[in-house]
Amino acid sequence: MTVSTKISYADVEVGTELPAQTFPVTRATLVRYAGASGDFNPIHWNEKFAKEVGLPDVIAHGMFTMAEAVRVVTDWTGDPGAVVEYGVRFTKPVVVPNDDKGAEIEVSAKVAAKLDDEAKTVRVDLTAMSAGQKVLGMSRAVVRLA
Q: Cite the beta strand spans of 5-132 per DSSP E.
A: 17-25, 83-90, 103-116, 121-130
Lowest-confidence region among 1-15, 63-77, 113-127:
1-15
pTM of the full structure = 0.92
Question: Is the separation of the CB atoms in 134 and 91 below 8 Å?
Answer: yes
Q: d(Cα 33, Cα 52) in Å, to the nearest integer?
A: 23
Q: d(Cα 96, Cα 119) in Å, to the nearest integer?
A: 40
Average pLDDT, the chain: 95
Give the residue extent of every domain in the chain.
9-144
pLDDT 10s digits, 22-39: 999 999 999 999 999 999
Is the model more confident about 59 or about 1? 59
CATH code for the part of the protein at 9-144? 3.10.129.10
pLDDT 10s digits, 97-127: 999 899 999 999 999 999 999 999 999 999 9
Crossing angle of the two packed helices 62-77 and 27-37, in degrees rounded to 10: 90
Residue 20 has a pLDDT of 98
